[in-house]
Chains A and B, each alone.
Chain A
Amino acid sequence: MTVPNTDRDLWQKTLAGDSAAWQLLVKRYQSLVYAVATRAGLSMADAADCFQQTWVALYENRHRIQDPTRLSAWLVTTAKREAMRLRRRTLPDTGGEAEIDHPDRSPLPDEELNQIEQQAHLEMALAELDPRCRQVVELFFFAPERQSYDEIAASLGMAMNSLGPVRRRCLERLKKILRKNGVI
């Protein structure tokens, strides 16, 4: 199995003019940028603009980005700014008083953006796991809160007593990937 490129590897290749590396970066983070664009309350046409402009900005600023391990944060911030710009363009001018009445009109609080970014990192790491582990770990993180280990084991067709060791082993692999990606 080939080891997937880290963001740093892909970024260096992109800077060297490797368009295939750029394509991998876009594929890796497209769902993250899409999530920011669509949760900002934009129309689909504006969300498409926001999505495209974010990638254009990244490409145009590629020589200014100093820390490629922070690409996801850069993308989230840029997509949010672009979404806010598009929203300002379409919202009626409410005047100064309305601004005072509603100081935070941002539909994307930092907490939510942070959660989207973490989710993107987790999903990227999940994609590197083998299918069995991916299934187990996915349920560990994403299943509804009240879903018990019994129910998770049943949905996986596993005996309850074998879920524990499998889960631990898979979480261990996940942590390794997250460490390699500089997420934990």
Chain B
Amino acid sequence: MDRHLHREELIALARKLQRSANQHLSECAECREEVELLRKFNMAGHSRLQDAPAGWVERAALLAQKHHSLEKIRKAVAALVFDSWAATQPIGVRGQASIGERRLRFEADRFTFDLRAERLPGEWAFVAQVTTESLPPGNFALSAGKKELTADTAGFFQWTADRPPRRILLRSDDTEIEIPELSWKKNRPR
């Protein structure tokens, strides 16, 4: 057996461009293995793969952690316990006054959620309050339609919108409470 093959020859063989070294290759297991490796990993002249930007990698790496903490969040659907539109109006309360304002109370687990909606010209104004004994009220966040709100220290949320929200979600660090969807159509009392 003559000399081992040069790197250039091995690469050429890996690319099947050169057959003159086949004689040596048939006798030399070492060169055969190197040709096989180069066939699989022919990177001559390539640069190494670049790392993704650190921020991208970090976000992807945190996916499992975030998902894990989301799985731990308790979910509950609140129950409607009071609706001023459904309540019998006291004698003497009639007409626009009862349509222009709606007061609602929801309860779920340890939470009470009060919502007052007032119809103004061209928009609705909302004031909501969450009360609970287990958490400081300021730890709550509220999604009302596209609005994302954070409670003040007394647990109040205030916002205005063109129309009442279809979907309201109340969130603390470990709980997500869904407020049931309501109809906001009310016939004017005769």
Contact residues of A with B, CB < 8 Å?
A: 14, 17, 19, 22-23, 26-27, 30-35, 38, 48, 51-52, 55-56, 59, 115-116, 118-123, 140-149, 152, 164, 168, 171, 174-175, 184
Contact = CB atoms under 8 A, between A and B. Distances in A.
Contacts of A35: 49-50
Given A22-B65, A48-B56, 12 more contacts: A14-B64, A31-B51, A32-B49, A34-B50, A34-B56, A118-B41, A141-B38, A142-B48, A147-B7, A152-B7, A171-B34, A171-B37
B30 A55 contact: no
A145 B45 contact: yes
Given A27-B61, A119-B41, A164 B4 contact: yes
A117 B177 CA distance: 45
B49 A34 contact: yes
A59 B67 CA distance: 9
B6 interface: yes
20 contacts: A26-B57, A26-B63, A30-B57, A31-B49, A34-B51, A34-B52, A35-B50, A51-B60, A52-B59, A120-B49, A121-B41, A122-B43, A141-B38, A144-B44, A145-B11, A145-B45, A149-B6, A174-B37, A175-B37, A184-B40
A171 B31 CA distance: 11
Q: Which of B8, B43, B52, B65 has the most CB of A within 10 A?
A: B52
B188 interface: no
Contacts of B34: 171
A172 to B, nearest CB: 9
A20 B64 CA distance: 9
Contacts of B46: 119, 142
B68 interface: yes
A51 B56 contact: yes
B49 A123 contact: yes
Interface in B86-139: none
B33 interface: yes
B64 to A, nearest CB: 4
Contacts of A120: 49
